[in-house]
């Protein structure tokens, strides 16, 4: 009995000594929890950095959601396969969205992010009666003709620690075909058609959702009397949104949940 008590005392002594050592080293969960960054103490860093605006000769728009994602794009831009994709996509409307890594800022202002970056490259090409549509015609000029929109998307994964692209995958090509109608913009999976079009001031434009995904129309109508923010809210399959544009101006818009895939458009009113 005495021997058993001595053994038990030894075990207790070991546990006590170990606990003291853990407390002094700060390895106990309770001690480590003091340094845990709770959601209340961190915030997302979202800057939406525009890297390149479209031009008449190069309809490519490049943006990043934060500085770390911009660095991911800079790494991807040096990759030979990515260069070949961009060369292949020329002639259409190209959107390059650097969407990862997500960056968070702690209470002390330190920026933290993972070492994995993601860049989405989208090419939208549109045709009217089989011919490439690369101008800005009026709705009345294309009404009754066949419109076709072709979209290709590449997903580029970047290892930021190695400064290298580690994977590139291409999604199945999406195709939308519609008989064009006056003052109607068709919305399908990740694309609007026609993407760039003109109309008379005073026109009522209708956006029609032809896809199973919800879409919206959000943008700024820059008119002669000033800017107006427009937000349609989400509309679903076979639903639509319409708005009357009373003055001369330009309306640039996008779908907020599919902007990364280049779902945007421009209407010029004269």
Sign of the torsion formed by the C-alpha atoms of 229, 233, 237 and 242: negative
Short-list 185, 183, 184, 201, CA closest to 249? 201
Q: Residue 98: is its pLDDT beyond 50?
A: yes
Mean pLDDT of 195-204: 96
Task: Kindly report the average pLDDT of the chain as a whole number.
Answer: 85
Q: Residue 229: is its pLDDT beyond 80?
A: yes
Sign of the torsion formed by the C-alpha atoms of 76, 256, 59 and 194: positive
Do 137 and 225 have their domain in common? no
Boundaries of domain holding 220: 183-270
Domain boundary among 160, 178, 196: 178
Do 13 and 26 have their domain in common? yes
Express each pLDDT in 171-185 by its tens digit: 999 999 999 999 999
Do 77 and 56 have their domain in common? yes
d(CA 98, CA 104): 16
Which of the four pLDDT bands, split at 50, 70 and 90, describes residue 140? very high
Do 126 and 48 have their domain in common? yes
Supply the pLDDT for residue 261: 83
Token pair belonging to 139:
């709705």
Do 18 and 88 have their domain in common? no
Short-list 127, 43, 93, CA closest to 263? 93
Supply the pLDDT for residue 5: 40
Domain boundary among 144, 178, 212: 178
Do 64 and 84 have their domain in common? yes
Q: Residue 60: is its pLDDT beyond 50?
A: yes
Mean pLDDT of 5-12: 43
Express each pLDDT in 101-118 by its tens digit: 988 877 777 878 889 999
Do 194 and 96 have their domain in common? no
Domain boundary among 147, 178, 209: 178
| pTM to 2 decimal places | 0.74
Supply the pLDDT for residue 100: 92
Supply the pLDDT for residue 146: 97
CA–CA distances in Å: residue 150 to residues 126, 132, 143, 178: 6, 11, 19, 12
**CB contact at 8 A, 146 and 129:** yes
Do 117 and 142 have their domain in common? yes
Q: Residue 208: is its pLDDT beyond 50?
A: yes
Which of the four pLDDT bands, split at 50, 70 and 90, describes residue 264? very high
Do 50 and 27 have their domain in common? no
**CB contact at 8 A, 153 and 191:** no
Q: Which residue has the higher pLDDT, 29 or 159?
A: 159
Domain total for the chain? 3
Q: What is the CATH number of the domain that holds 256?
A: 2.60.40.420
Do 134 and 220 have their domain in common? no
Q: Is omega for the bond preceding 231 within 30 degrees of 0, making it cis?
A: no
Supply the pLDDT for residue 94: 92
Which of the four pLDDT bands, split at 50, 70 and 90, describes residue 33? very low
Do 102 and 11 have their domain in common? no
Do 67 and 111 have their domain in common? yes
Mean pLDDT of 51-68: 89
């Amino acid at each position: 009995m005495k021997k058993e008590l001595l053994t038990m005392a030894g075990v207790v002594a070991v546990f006590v000594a170990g606990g003291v050592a853990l407390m002094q080293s700060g390895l106990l969960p309770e001690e480590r929890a003091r340094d845990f960054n709770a959601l209340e103490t961190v915030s997302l860093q979202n800057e939406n950095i525009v890297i390149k605006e479209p031009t008449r000769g190069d309809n490519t728009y490049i943006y990043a959601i934060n500085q770390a994602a911009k660095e991911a794009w800079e790494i991807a831009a040096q990759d030979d396969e990515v260069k070949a994709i961009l060369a292949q996509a020329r002639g259409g409307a190209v959107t390059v969205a650097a969407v990862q890594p997500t960056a968070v800022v702690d209470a002390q202002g330190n920026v933290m992010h993972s070492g994995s970056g993601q860049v989405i490259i989208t090419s939208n090409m549109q045709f009217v009666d089989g011919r490439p549509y690369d101008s800005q015609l009026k709705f009345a000029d294309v009404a009754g003709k066949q419109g076709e929109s072709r979209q290709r998307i590449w997903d580029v994964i970047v290892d930021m620690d190695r400064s290298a692209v580690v994977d590139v995958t291409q999604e199945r090509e999406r195709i939308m075909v519609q008989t064009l109608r006056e003052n109607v913009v068709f919305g399908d999976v990740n694309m609007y058609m026609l993407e760039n079009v003109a109309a008379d001031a005073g026109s009522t434009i209708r956006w029609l959702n032809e896809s199973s995904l919800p879409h919206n129309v959000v943008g700024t109508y820059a008119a002669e009397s000033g800017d107006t923010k427009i937000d349609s809210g989400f509309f679903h399959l076979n639903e639509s949104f319409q708005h009357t544009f009373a003055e001369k101006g330009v309306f640039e818009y996008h779908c907020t949940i599919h902007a990364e895939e280049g779902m945007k458009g421009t209407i010029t009113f004269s």
